[in-house]
Amino acid sequence: MYTIDNKIELICPAGNLPALRAAVDSGADAVYIGFRGGNNARNFPGLNFSPDEAKQGIEYARKNGARVFLAMNTFPQPEQWQSAIDSIDTAAELEVDALILADPGLMDYSRKTHPELRLHLSVQGSATNRDAICLYHEQFNIQRVVLPRVLSLAQVRQVIKEVPVEVEVFGFGSLCVMVEGRCSLSSYVTGDSPNTAGVCSPAQAVRWKETEEGRQSYLNDVLIERYNKDEPAGYPTLCKGRFYVEDNLYHAIEEPTSLNLLELLPDLMKCGVKAIKVEGRQRSKTYVAQVTSVLRQALDACFENPELYIADKQWITQLNSLAEGSCHTLGAYHRPWQ
Amino acid sequence: MKISIGPISYFWERQKVFDFYKSLEETPVDIVYLGETVCSKRRELSLDDWLVIADQLSKSGKEVILSTLTLIEAASELSYQNRIALNERYTVEANDMATIHNLNAKHSFVIGPHINTYNKATLKLFSEMGGCRWVIPVELGKETISTILQERTPGMETEIFAFGNLPLAFSARCYTARAHNRPKDSCGFICVDYPDGLPMFTQEKEPFLILNGIQTQSVAKQNLITLLDEINELGIDIIRIMPQAEGTIEIIDLFHKVMNGEIQPTVALEQMEIFHSFGKCNGYWFGDEGMVWIDKTNKQNKSFDSILE
């Protein structure tokens, strides 16, 4: 939907009730959460909501003028099917503001069983073009698509002009360099992937080894990264280590860095992006509060006066200090990155 | 069971492509998938060229399917796959939902391995939209496949990825161009120098992945030749062999001989060792990590073949 006067919604992550309250208090327009268990893409130990906690979260958000979206964005296999549709029924009972789904079978179930429930197509649905998005709209009546982090700004602009649904993009957080929903690297090494279990490079597969060459991080038996004594060690996300290609050692896939679209906000607003999403349901409430607060200020400033908007240096510094690798990138939105 | 040849995943020179498909004419292959599924910049062959190859293979008795691009972003990519979708001669393998949309339930199609079909409800849905064959996503193991196949969807065939480097991920970024410090938009078609992809190694010098333009593959070859009896028992109709820069004909021959009971699977496997110089894997079938090799006769004997070799 192409509208010039587009106030962009800020969609923030919450892995538990304190994080949800922090997001709402810091200015999120909506918070996205997941139920416990393997049916959402942040299936981490100690994280996520029981139905009762979700209810409390929804009450808190509504009281403060915010909405709550529920993400169920894995692709359930037969043994997970019943629990997945039970979760959809629960989400409908809780009257969540939107359900974020990736699996066509689940979307079909939701549409037929709970036609009143608003559906968003998850980033895991891998819809990167007009015709794919139209299919999800026609088949399942999705009202919004979350775009994979692979499109350039020009491509985002084109998609928005051509699709009959709202478009949400990732604005800040860890950067997935692969097309979401189309990456099995994690299950290749660890047995579990975002599609099958809602995890990437899961903690139970992480091993550390101190060697003469430095501290080494592994996923199962695969060496992901080796750190010198003075280098800070990061989490061994599979695609963010240094590897050899033709005898050159470098970040062959991607550096450990965060996506940050602060400087693109006026462009995103002009092209009609409906909402910006922050990655990080696994993060602390402090992180959520800080990121939400900076993005709230930035979005408000941009909406007030898009022509004069400049991404404040202090905001960038603050976000970099929270970011993976303490630095940021525009990712695929900026064509030379590709 | 039938044997299919998946689409060529690498960028081969034009003549190599023609020669490869000519060489398939006399093989016991039943089905051939044609076309570019990875990178829209690889245009050594036009759609008309592919159709010439399709006609020749068709004349030699092969079933021909036209495969489509997996990651579709640009308008030009959208219109190219639309031309393929609307061709009147051959069935299409859809690797993106855009293609299914363009087929508009008017033509039957193959649900490609990059369409996420992980449960019965999704398979049934695609069947209603015209899906006539399901290529199983590589992550799914035999327990899951078996459950999905318990209630066969009428008119739906099942195909499994039986030999080749596993297609594991797609990205907007081109890793082959990155390896040469070139931006994607001026890649110089460097992929043509790597007819089996570009291997990537860990800092312990263990082979890990294959970079193939915007696609990332396993460095180990998935090889299910010792599991064909189980695959058959589950009711899987077709085994897919991926085109290799060298040795595809020999690999087809070995699969065919095992399927006909002419040689033992373990003997065939020994003869195939030269084709997995970076190791072999079959873990996904057992519901394990995809990269491991599990000896069927001894489930405990799980090893990282790609690393140990």
User: Cβ of A82: how many Cβ atoms within 10 Å?
Assistant: 10
DSSP string, A186-254: HHHHHS--HHHHS-SS-GGGEEEEEETTEEEEEETTEEEEEE-TTSPP----GGGS-EEETTEEE-SS-
pLDDT digits (tens, 9 = 90+) for B107-124: 899 999 999 999 999 999
Mean pLDDT of chain A: 92
Would you call B105 an interface residue with chain A, using a CB distance cutoff of 8 Å?
Answer: no
- Distance, CA of B250 to CA of A15 (rounded, Å): 53
What residues does each domain of chain A span?
A: 9-175+257-337, 185-250
pLDDT digits (tens, 9 = 90+) for B62-78: 999 999 999 999 999 99
Of the listed ranges A168-177, A271-280, B259-268, the least confidently predicted one is: A168-177
- Distance, CA of B14 to CA of B34 (rounded, Å): 13
pLDDT digits (tens, 9 = 90+) for B195-248: 999 999 999 999 999 999 999 999 999 999 999 999 999 999 999 999 999 999
Does B308 have pLDDT greater than 90?
A: no
Domains, chain B: 2-166+221-274 (3.20.20.70)
The predicted structure's pLDDT at residue A213: 87
User: Cβ of A210: how many Cβ atoms within 10 Å?
Assistant: 8
Does A3 have pLDDT greater than 50?
A: no
The predicted structure's pLDDT at residue B232: 97
Would you call B188 an interface residue with chain A, using a CB distance cutoff of 8 Å?
Answer: no
> Helix B120-128 crosses helix A78-94 at what angle (to 10 degrees)?
90
Q: Residue B174's closest chain A neighbor by CA?
A: A338
Would you call A226 an interface residue with chain B, using a CB distance cutoff of 8 Å?
Answer: yes
**Residue contact B185–A338, C-beta within 8 A:** yes
- Coil, strand or helix: which one is B185? helix
Does A176 have pLDDT greater than 90?
A: no
Distance from CA of A287 to the nearest CA of B (A): 28
The predicted structure's pLDDT at residue A220: 96
pLDDT digits (tens, 9 = 90+) for A18-56: 999 999 999 999 999 999 876 766 777 778 999 999 999
CATH topology of domain A9-175+257-337: TIM Barrel (3.20.20)
- Distance, CA of A67 to CA of A97 (rounded, Å): 6
Dihedral sign, Cα of residue B270, residue B276, residue B279, residue B282: negative
Candidates A39, A42, A51, A55; CA nearest to A15 is A42
Max distance between CA atoms of chain B, in angstroms, equals 52
Of the listed ranges A321-330, B23-32, B244-253, the least confidently predicted one is: A321-330
User: Cβ of A203: how many Cβ atoms within 10 Å?
Assistant: 11
- Distance, CA of A117 to CA of A136 (rounded, Å): 15
- Distance, CA of B39 to CA of A91 (rounded, Å): 40
The predicted structure's pLDDT at residue A187: 98
The predicted structure's pLDDT at residue A324: 72
Does B306 have pLDDT greater than 80?
A: no
User: For A19, phi and psi rounded to 5 degrees?
Assistant: -70, -40
Candidates B38, A87, A138, B148; CA nearest to A121 is A138
As a whole number, mean pLDDT of residues B124-128 equals 96
Q: What is the DSSP letter of A49?
A: B
Q: Which amino acid would we find at residue A28? A: A
Using pLDDT thresholds of 50, 70 and 90, give the confidence band for residue A105: very high
**Residue contact B216–A105, C-beta within 8 A:** no
Contact A197, B144 (CB under 8 A): no
Q: What is the DSSP letter of A7?
A: P
Using pLDDT thresholds of 50, 70 and 90, give the confidence band for residue B304: low
Does A155 have pLDDT greater than 90?
A: yes
Distance from CA of A12 to the nearest CA of B (A): 25
As a whole number, mean pLDDT of residues B89-117 equals 95
Which residue blocks in chain A are alpha helix, DSSP H? Answer: 17-25, 51-63, 78-94, 104-113, 130-140, 153-162, 185-190, 194-197, 265-270, 285-304, 313-322
Does B38 have pLDDT greater than 70?
A: yes
Which of A109, A151, A243 lies at the smallest CB-CB distance from B202?
A243
**Residue contact A128–B171, C-beta within 8 A:** no
**Residue contact A196–B72, C-beta within 8 A:** no
User: For A221, phi and psi rounded to 5 degrees?
Assistant: -100, 10
As a whole number, mean pLDDT of residues A125-152 equals 96
ipTM: 0.95
The predicted structure's pLDDT at residue B13: 97
Query: A228 vs A214, B150, B204, CA distance in Å?
Result: 5, 53, 15
